[in-house]
Structure 1
Amino acid sequence: MMAPKVDRPPDGFDLEVETLIIGAGACGLIAALSATEAGQDVLVIEADAVPSGSTALSAGLIPAAGTKLQQAAGIDDSPARFAADIQAKAHGENEQALVDLLTQNAAPVIDFLMEVHGLVFSVVDDFDYPGHSRHRMHGLPTRSGAELINALRNAAELTGIDIVCNLRAETLFFSDDLVHGIAARRPDGRMETIGCKRLILACNGFGGNRALVAQHMPEIESGLWFGHDGNRGDAVIWADQIGAATQYLGAYQGHGNVAYPHGILITWATITEGGVQVNRMGKRFWNEAQGYSEAARAVLAQPGGVAFTIFDARIADIARQFEDFKRAEEQGAIKSAATPEGLADKLGLPADALTETLSNIPAGGTDEFGRCFGASSLSPSYCGVRVTGGLFHTQGGLRVDKTARVLTRSGALIQNLFAGGGAACGVSGSRDRGYLSGNGLLAAVVLGRIAGSCKRLLYP
């Protein structure tokens, strides 16, 4: 696989379009829908055989404040409250202007997708996500990213948008501070050049590039990579060559609740509803209420880099709204037993230690780690799953302005280059300080919508 490079434009292109979008994940597809709505001639290219990206591997949940769905459900929320939640989780490190941009535009994007393109969202209101002070996670019926991608692809096809798959961009043609197009490789090795008046980078982050991960986030280097393998850092590599600004390349979304060795994401509802994590000795080791991104490091620090998430049948019923959890059950990752001793036997844990750990959970109180528990204790039957910590996607990326245009290191605008989703810097602070659930898709859908809707083209 050729490394992404930058070159001067050729004398002519095989094909020319007005708006070219690299990547057919949530960001790219929403950008395409928005650009078409704005009257642009649009082409989307995708390296995979079918559109997917990190979106398809996620739960497909988009946080938004002030949506019509929330209002109908009587949920009192606002972009300002949402912005405060993001900054609190990220220790105030984010640029306020970017946080405000995302939180103020999230609800209109949800409403747009429902009213114009018929996506059937609903609010997840039966459990709380860490850091969110209101129920604001919006998802499709199966609570899966694959369903979200399929719905967006269907909307794009109905709108007449051209999506060309199995076409990987390798060369960015750039000169005189403008993008002129790209060269992309077909499966048979042939190169095709595509000229454009503007380019939207929706090609995600660099979690699949282990060299970049080791360079920018060594603390997660040994973690399981369970994101999309197409995340090779093309946007970041091009940025370095054209003088574009990047920010917070050490920030990432980890997850400490990945079924091992199955590699299936287990919803954090197993924790927020009263579950706990124990190590191989059957002992708890941290305050799980901090969140699933923090859990990646906490779990990896345990013997063997594994832990066990313990919950009960009541919590399992809540978790089954997620397709990933049902798939984990089908593959035998979830164990259950009538007693702690029986569960310990199935998980290979010391029975006495696990029994003591569960009996010491202070229902309605606060434990030694500072975690506050609800009034309900875990009760028969008991459930457990062996998990590890891993990296799902990176949060740092190209710096953009309020129109999603890419900034140079000097702060100037590259007038016809846009970035969104994993290619752009998100709002999780400088490192993994506590990823607020859904921020990745938040940046994807909002920046995609803004980049696609931007009509002002300075490149003739």
Structure 2
Amino acid sequence: MTPTTRTASPPDIFDITTETLIIGAGACGLVAALSATETGQQVLLIEADPVPSGSTALSAGLIPAAGTKIQRAAGIDDSATLFASDIQAKAQGENDPALVDLMTSGAAEVIDWLAEVHGLPFSVVTNFDYPGHSRHRMHGLPARSGAELIDALRTACEAKGIDIICDRRADVLFHQDGEVYGVAVNRPDGGVETIGCKRMILACNGFGGNRALVSRHMPEIADGLWFGHDGNRGEAVLWAEEIGAQTQHLGAYQGHGNVAHPHGILITWAVITEGGVQVNRRGGRFWNEAQGYSEAARAVLSQPGGEAFAIFDHRIAGIARQFEDFKRAETAGAVRTSDTLEGLAETLGLPPDRLATTLAEIPLEGTDHFGRRFGMTPLAPPYCGVRVTGALFHTQGGLQVNADAQVLRTDGTPFDTLYAGGGAACGVSGKGDSGYLSGNGLLSAVVLGRRAGIVSPR
């Protein structure tokens, strides 16, 4: 094995053996662990961090699903077919239809199962619309926080007696005769342990924290703020190269163009969808913000200084306060307020006359020259503003899987022993950044985690 090789033949004897080994304790891994335990499998879940968190903990923790019992109770008429149509429309048909159908048809079952069996108190976000979703289908816990979701899933795993071993980063994949047999993991003390398994589920997310891979596959965002989890180093993709596994859409990613700068706090896109706008240092708008927050990253980074300013008002701020991140941004002083546009411009360092002209040009109804349609409620004092920049949140391309979340070889046949979900697998966000529909990351995490978990070892 050369120093750059990440795979090796399995040892004669493993330090630890288990039936189902799960790599990564984010939403995907925790859902997979609950599902596998439910079917009677012996499960071991390993996590590189001191405590489970992952990219999920950095998100708003919202999972899109169509046709849930929670939706029906709220009077929302939705279907997997409509959800699939929304996903494909956002990605301009670039996704594998079978994978889209798998995601959209499986999401409601996961939400209902987590709510009824494990007691997660989901509700649907109904007080604003997410771009591209034709129904209210974003399910979240009360605080609308990814950390809250991770804590709830971890608590559910602990209640089932599932073994979660932290501070163990998987390094070398043991592979022989076309199948996977385990991993070598690094311990905090510098030691190495080998873990053997009958099957393995890769829930170790994507490669956003590996700047070399980002530069190779998505150079347009390479200089953007990395807002994801540093543990996302791309082991799944690197292993795939050595064992002959298929990958797809490695240039796909979720960006975000509304991260408070320099505070590094996510500002919910609700401040835009409810009638706010983005302006550059000159006080002028520069694009159609209704396209979505993922492509906003490139739009914002292309402006002078790689920054912009989200402009909204007190009414919109009231809606945004349902998210913990927004309240944290207010506490940190990232959100500036003023009773006048002149005062807001002064505190943000913008030209007052130009900012006033920009807002005056917003139509009360109809479509503006960027192609964005506005409602009838104009911005009104007190006004609010935040300096923001563009960021990379997580990658959306990855390993190709089938309907059971089994990883596919380059010849199209499935591995019997290797499964993947979440950011380790190819998602349904098309080939780039503009195909990302809100919640696609957690959609892939919970649906593929559920599918991979319930399949018994062969």
Query: How many residues get paired?
Result: 456
Q: Corresponding residue for 2:308?
A: 307
Report which stretch shifted further, 193-202 or 361-370.
361-370
Distance, in Å, in 2 between the alignment partners of 1:108 and 1:413 is 25
Equivalent-residue separation in structure 2 for 1:87 and 1:3 (angstroms)? 38
Offset, 1:365: 2.0
Structure 2 residue aligned with 1:69? 70
Q: Unmatched 5+ residue regions in structure 1?
A: none
Q: Secondary structure at the match of 1:409?
A: coil
Counterparts of 1:254-333 in structure 2 under 5 Å?
254-333=255-334
1:78-97 equivalent positions in 2, closer than 5 A? 78-97=79-98
Give the drift of 1:4: 6.9
Distance change >3 Å, CA 345–CA 3, structure 1 → 2:
farther
Indicate the residue corresponding to 1:412 in structure 2. Answer: 413
**AA paired with 1:104?**
S
CA distance in structure 2 between the partners assigned to 1:208 and 1:154 by the alignment? 27
Counterpart of 1:356? 357
1:240 pairs with 2:241: yes
Q: Give the deviation of 1:432 after TM superposition.
A: 1.4
Q: Deviations over 1:44-103 (max 9, x none)?
A: 000000000000000000000000010011101000000000000000010000000000
Q: Please give the alpha-carbon distance, in whole angstroms, between the structure 2 residues aligned to 1:120 and 1:416.
A: 34
TM-score using structure 1 length: 0.98
TM-score between both structures, scaled by the size of structure 2: 0.99
1:90/1:434 contact within 8 Å kept? yes
Taking only aligned residues, the RMSD between alpha carbons, in angstroms, comes to 0.8
Deviations 1:281-335 (A, max 9, x none): 0000000000000100100000000000000000000000000000100100000
User: How far did residue 265 of structure 1 move?
Assistant: 0.8
Q: Could you tell me how far 1:3 is from its partner in structure 2?
A: 6.2
Instruction: Name the CA distance, whole Å, in 2 between partners of 1:396 and 1:3.
Output: 23
The Cα offsets for residues 256-283 of structure 1, whole Å up to 9 and x where unpaired, read as 0000011111100000000000000000
What residue in structure 2 maps to residue 40 of structure 1? Answer: 41
* Secondary structure of residue in 2 paired with 1:12: coil
Contact 2:65 2:107 in 1 (8 A): yes
Match of 2:114 in 1: 113
Assess if the C-alpha contact under 8 Å between 2:292 and 2:434 holds in 1.
Answer: no
Task: Output the CA distance in 2 between the equivalents of 1:327 and 1:361.
Answer: 29
Tell me which stretches of 4 or more aligned residues in structure 1 moved more than 3 Å: none
CA–CA separation in structure 2 for the residues paired with 1:57 and 1:170? 24
Deviation at 1:178, TM superposition (A): 1.1
CA distance in 2, matches of 1:454, 1:415: 11
Cross-structure match for 1:21: 22
Residues 111 and 209 of structure 1, relative CA distance in 2, 3 Å threshold: same
Change over 3 Å in CA distance of 1:281–1:31 after alignment to 2: same
Counterpart code for 1:386: R
Structure 2 residue aligned with 1:187: 188
Q: Is the 8 A contact 1:251 1:396 kept in 2?
A: yes
Tell me, yes or no, if structure 1 residue 134 matches structure 2 residue 155: no
Q: Output the CA distance in 2 between the equivalents of 1:369 and 1:180.
A: 54
Equivalent residue runs for 1:440-459 within 5 Å: 440-455=441-456, 457-458=457-458
3-state secondary structure, aligned to 1:183: strand
CA shift in 2, pair 1:63/1:375, >3 Å: same
Query: How far apart, CA to CA, are the structure 2 residues paired with 1:122 and 1:364?
Result: 31
Asked if the contact 2:32–2:450 (Cα under 8 Å) also holds between the matched residues in 1, the reply is: yes
Query: What pairs up with 1:173-184 in 2 under 5 angstroms?
Result: 173-184=174-185
Per-residue deviation, 1:434: 3.2
Aligned amino acid, residue 193 of structure 1: T
Shift of 1:433: 2.4
CA distance in 2, matches of 1:213, 1:277: 27
Secondary structure of the residue aligned to 1:114 is: helix
**Structure 2 CA distance for partners of 1:4 and 1:316, relative to 1, 3 Å:** farther
The residue aligned with 1:150 is: 151
Partner of 2:167 in structure 1? 166
In structure 1, how many angstroms separate the alpha carbons of the residues matched to 2:271 and 2:432?
Answer: 25
Cα contact 1:4–1:237 (8 A) shared by 2:
no
Q: Distance in 2 between matches of 1:42 and 1:410?
A: 30
What one-letter code is carried by the residue in structure 2 that aligns with 1:232?
Answer: R
Amino acid at match of 1:353: R
CA distance in 1, matches of 2:106, 2:276: 34
* Distance in 2 separating the partners of 1:257 and 1:437: 14
Kept in 2, the 8 Å contact 1:428–1:439? The answer is yes
Give 1:207 deviation, angstroms: 0.2
Amino acid in structure 1 at the alignment position of 2:182: G
Distance 1:99 1:321, change over 3 A: same
Secondary structure at the counterpart of residue 118 of structure 2: coil
Distance 1:410 1:433 in 2: 29
Residues of 1 paired with 2:228 and 2:184: CA distance? 26
What fraction of aligned residue pairs are identical, expressed as a percent? 73
Contact 1:4 1:234 survives alignment (8 Å): no
Q: Contact 1:395/1:427 (CA < 8 Å) preserved in 2?
A: yes
